[in-house]
Amino acid sequence: MAETLLVTSTTKQEKYIDLIPQLKSLLENETDLIANLANTAAALRQTFGFFWVGFYVVKQNQLILAPFQGDIACTRIPFHKGVCGACYTQAKTIIVPDVEKFEGHIACSSLSKSEIVVPIIKNNEVVAVLDVDSDELDDFSEIDKKYLEEIVNILTLSF
Ligand code: SME
């Protein structure tokens, strides 16, 4: 595809449905991991205007900051810390409607109010997580979970 996205829908679900085939063709034509993580973060930010969207990759026995869109963020997260750590250890998507109520949440920005973290699983191991933050409370639902899981599934091929 050309390096432009065409997403004209208005609801979140329709936006995901518009975005996913375009993103799929962009990612399937490139094998480089960093390029694909970078374009995925950009496409999600461009489509939904998320406050922060990016990846933490498993390296050196911890989660290390990888391509993202948004303000600068913490660079290293131990496996047992924060929402990202919980996502890693439980190997499942975690939705946090109010980050202040999640014990151990790591506040990279005081403006972040709710969050969803999705594991990227390859050969039964978590190899990275996708973290999306909102500056609004309760901004993520089962819709985000379903489609973000679909998106990270495509990314598994790049790892
Ligand atoms: N809030 C995350 C840390 C990453 S930043 O939000 C970008 C957490 O608690 O794991």
Cβ atoms of 95 and 140 within 8 Å: the answer is yes
Q: Which residues line ligand 1 (CB under 6 A)?
A: 52, 73-74, 77, 82-84, 105-106, 108, 112, 115, 131, 133
H or E element: which one contains 151? helix 142-155
Question: Angle formed by the axes of helices 33-48 and 12-28, to 10°?
Answer: 160
Candidates 57, 83, 87, 129: which one to mutate for ligand 1, based on the most atoms within 8 Å of Cβ? 83
Q: Is the pLDDT of residue 82 over 90?
A: yes
From 53, 72, 105, 114, mutation site for ligand 1 pocket: most ligand atoms within 8 A of C-beta: 105
User: CATH assignment of 12-158, given 3.40.470.10, 3.40.50.150, 3.40.390.30, 3.30.450.40?
Assistant: 3.30.450.40
Residue nearest to atom 6 of ligand 1 (CA): 108
User: Cα(152) to centroid of ligand 1, in Å?
Assistant: 18
What is the pLDDT at residue 141? 98
For residues 75-96, average pLDDT: 97
pLDDT confidence bin for 119, thresholds 50/70/90: very high
112 CA distance to ligand 1 centroid (A)? Answer: 9
pLDDT over 90 at 67, yes or no: yes
Residue 99 has pLDDT above 70, yes or no: yes
What would the pLDDT profile of 121-132 be if each residue is shown by its tens digit? 999 999 999 999
Q: What are phi and psi of 15, to 5 degrees?
A: -65, -45
Tokens (6 digits) for 152: 């990270």
Strands (E), 18-85: 52-59, 62-69, 76-77
Residue 156's nearest CA partner among 40, 6, 5 is 40
Q: What integer pLDDT is reported at residue 4 of this predicted model?
A: 87
Q: What is the pLDDT of residues 2-47, one digit of tens each?
A: 578 888 888 999 999 999 999 999 999 899 999 999 999 999 999 9
Confidence class for position 91, pLDDT limits 50, 70, 90: very high
Query: What does the domain layout of the chain look like in residue ranges?
Result: 12-158
